[in-house]
C-alpha cells in the first residue's frame, strides 16, 4: 500500500471523484495553475482543465453562492476557502442559502456542495489563519460537518462528502497536511459520513475528540498505558454525531472527557457533554469533562499559542484528574 500524506489523500480523493464523475469540479482562489496555497489541488487543472478547476476572484460569498447554483443543476462543486477563516466572508450563503435550499423548496432541490479549506492552529498563523470555525455551523440544520484526523479518513471522507447530496463542510487541519503520513489501500474506499472510529480501546476513561487533537489524545492514551486504560473515540463527523459509538463507549468506561482544539466555551464539546450528562446520567462515575482551547483568540507568539492550545500533556492531566474522580 502506498504511503500518502493527509494532504495527498485529499488531492487523491478529489482526483478520483473527478475522474469518476464529470460533474465534480473545484472552485476557489489560486486552486488552478498554482494548485492552491498549500498545493492541495496540485495537478488538477492539468488533468481536468480550467473549466472544471476554476480560479475565482477573491469573493468567498460568490464562490459559495455560485456553488449552490451549480449544485442545483446537478454539478458537485468543491469550494475551497484559501484558509478556512475566510468562511466568515461567505457565512450567509452557507447558513441561509445552502443549508435551507432543500427545506425551503419542500424537498425539490439538492445541494451537493463541499466547502473545504485549511483550518486549525499550531503553526503560528495568528488570529486569522488558525481558526476552528465548526461551532458557527453546528447549530445549522441542513449542513453536515466532517473533520478527518488521518490520511485514510481525509481521503474516504472527501469522497463521501463529494457524493453526498447535502452541503458538507469539510474541515481539514493544516498542521496535519504533511506531518501525517500513512499507508492507505490501493483500492477505492469510502469513509461514511456519520460514523466515528475507535483509535484506542480502554475501559477507564473515554476521550471523545476529532481533528488534530486525536493524535494528542492517542499519545496521551499510550503514555498512560498501564496506569489508566483510555478509550479514544475519533468523531470524524461532527454533524450528524455518531451517538451509537459515543454512548457505547461512555457506558463502558463511565467517564468521558471531550477534547477539541476549538475554543472551550460554545464549542461543540458542550453539546456532546450536555447530552452525555443528561442521557447517561445513571451510567456516569464522574462528571463529563471538557478540554478545549482557552477562551481567547488564536494568539501569534509561540508561548501564547502553547498556552492556548490543548496538547498531549494537558490531555494526560485531564484524563488523570477524571480517572481519580
Partner 1 sequence: MTEQKERELYFWMVLVREFEARVAALDKQGKLAGGVYSGRGQEAATVGVCHALRPDDWVFPLHRDMGAYLVKGADPNRLMAQIFGRRDGFSKGKDSYLHGGDLAHGIFGATSMLAATLPVAAGMAYKFRMKNEDRLAVAFFGEGASSRGDAHEAMNFAGVHKLPVIFVCENNFYAYSTPNELQFAVENVADRAAGYGFKGEVASGNDLHTVMNVMQKATDRARRGEGPTFIELKTYRYHGHSEHDRAAYRTEEELVTWESRDPIELWEHYMDKRKYDLPAIQAETLARARKVVEDAVAFAEASPEPTGPEAMDDLYATPVGEGR
Phi, psi of 110 (to 5 degrees): -110, 160
Catalytic annotation on 129? yes
124 touching partner 1, by CB under 8 A: yes
284 touching partner 1, by CB under 8 A: no
Grid cell listed for 287: 462528571
Q: Which is nearer to ligand TPP, 29 or 305 (CB)?
A: 29
Q: In a 10 Å sphere around its CB, with 0-12 CB exposed, 13-18 middle and 19+ buried, how is residue 18 labelled?
A: buried
Q: How far is the CB of 52 from partner 1 (least distance, A)?
A: 8
Name the 3-class secondary structure at 166. coil
Q: Which is nearer to its own copies, 43 or 240 (CB)?
A: 240
Contact pick of 287, 301, 307, 317 for its own copies (by CB under 8 A):
287
Grid cell listed for 39: 498545493
Q: If you search the block for the grid coordinates 432541490, which residue do you land on?
A: 109
Q: Is the peptide bond before 300 cis (omega within 30 degrees of 0)?
A: no
Cβ–Cβ < 8 Å for 149, 208: no
Grid cell listed for 1: 500500500
How far is residue 129's CA from residue 146's CA, in Å, rounded to a whole number? Answer: 19
Site pattern 1..40 for ligand TPP (x: CB under 6 A)? ----------------------------x-----------
Site pattern 157..176 for its own copies (x: CB under 8 A)? --------------------
Cβ–Cβ < 8 Å for 297, 276: no
296 touching its own copies, by CB under 8 A: yes
109 binds, among ligand TPP, partner 1, its own copies, none (CB under 5 to 8 A by kind): partner 1
How many Cβ atoms are within 10 Å of 77's Cβ, its own excluded?
A: 26
Name the 3-class secondary structure at 63. helix
59 touching its own copies, by CB under 8 A: no
Q: How many residues bind ligand TPP (CB under 6 A)?
A: 6
Q: How far is the CB of 264 from ligand TPP (least distance, A)?
A: 27
Grid cell listed for 72: 442545483
Give alpha helix (H) positions in 140-212.
Answer: 151-163
Name the 3-class secondary structure at 238. strand
127 touching ligand TPP, by CB under 6 A: no
For the chain, what is the largest distance between any 2 Cα atoms, rounded to a whole number of angstroms? 59
Cβ–Cβ < 8 Å for 291, 205: no
How many Cβ atoms are within 10 Å of 141's Cβ, its own excluded?
A: 9
Q: Which stretch binds its own copies (CB under 8 A): 10-18, 74-82, 221-229, 258-266?
A: 258-266
Site for partner 1 in 170-199 (CB under 8 A): 194
286 touching its own copies, by CB under 8 A: yes
Q: Which is nearer to partner 1, 237 or 253 (CB)?
A: 237
Contact pick of 19, 33, 58, 123 for ligand TPP (by CB under 6 A):
58
Site for its own copies in 108-137 (CB under 8 A): 127-128, 135-136
Catalytic pick from 105, 124, 129, 260? Answer: 129
Chain-centre distance for alpha carbon 167: 14
Site for its own copies in 80-109 (CB under 8 A): 85, 88-89, 91-92, 95-96, 99-100, 103-104
| Active-site residue set | 129
Residues in contact with its own copies by the rule CB under 8 A = 85, 88-89, 91-92, 95-96, 99-100, 103-104, 127-128, 135-136, 138-142, 262-263, 265-271, 273-274, 277-279, 281, 286-290, 295-297
Amino acid at each position: 500500500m502506498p504511503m500518502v500524506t493527509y494532504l495527498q489523500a485529499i488531492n487523491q480523493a478529489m482526483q478520483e471523484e473527478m475522474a469518476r464523475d464529470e460533474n465534480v469540479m473545484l472552485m476557489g482562489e489560486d486552486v488552478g495553475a498554482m494548485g492552491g496555497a498549500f498545493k492541495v489541488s496540485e495537478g488538477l487543472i492539468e488533468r481536468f482543465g480550467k473549466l472544471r478547476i476554476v480560479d475565482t476572484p477573491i469573493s468567498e460569498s460568490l464562490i459559495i453562492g455560485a456553488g449552490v447554483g451549480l449544485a442545483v443543476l446537478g454539478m458537485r462543486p468543491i469550494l475551497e476557502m484559501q484558509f478556512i477563516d475566510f468562511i466568515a466572508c461567505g457565512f450567509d450563503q452557507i447558513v441561509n442559502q445552502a443549508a435551507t435550499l432543500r427545506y425551503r423548496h419542500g424537498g425539490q432541490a439538492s445541494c451537493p456542495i463541499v466547502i473545504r479549506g485549511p483550518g486549525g492552529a499550531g503553526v503560528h498563523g495568528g488570529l486569522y489563519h488558525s481558526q476552528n470555525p465548526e461551532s458557527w455551523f453546528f447549530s445549522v440544520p441542513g449542513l453536515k460537518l466532517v473533520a478527518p484526523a488521518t490520511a485514510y479518513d481525509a481521503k474516504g471522507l472527501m469522497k463521501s462528502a463529494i457524493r453526498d447530496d447535502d452541503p458538507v463542510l469539510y474541515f481539514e487541519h493544516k498542521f496535519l497536511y504533511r506531518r501525517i503520513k500513512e499507508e492507505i489501500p490501493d483500492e477505492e474506499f469510502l469513509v461514511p459520513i456519520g460514523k466515528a472510529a475507535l483509535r484506542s480501546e480502554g475501559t477507564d476513561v473515554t476521550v471523545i475528540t476529532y481533528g488534530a487533537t486525536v493524535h494528542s489524545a492517542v499519545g496521551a492514551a499510550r503514555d498512560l498505558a498501564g496506569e489508566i486504560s483510555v478509550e479514544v473515540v475519533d468523531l470524524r463527523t461532527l454533524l450528524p454525531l455518531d451517538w451509537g459509538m459515543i454512548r457505547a463507549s461512555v457506558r463502558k468506561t463511565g467517564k468521558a472527557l471531550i477534547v477539541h482544539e476549538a475554543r472551550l466555551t460554545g464549542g461543540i464539546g458542550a453539546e456532546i457533554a450536555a447530552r452525555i450528562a443528561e442521557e447517561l446520567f445513571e451510567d456516569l462515575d464522574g462528571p463529563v469533562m471538557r478540554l478545549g482551547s482557552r477562551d481567547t483568540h488564536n494568539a501569534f507568539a509561540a508561548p501564547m499559542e502553547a498556552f492556548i492550545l490543548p496538547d498531549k500533556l494537558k490531555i494526560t492531566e485531564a484524563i488523570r484528574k477524571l480517572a481519580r474522580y
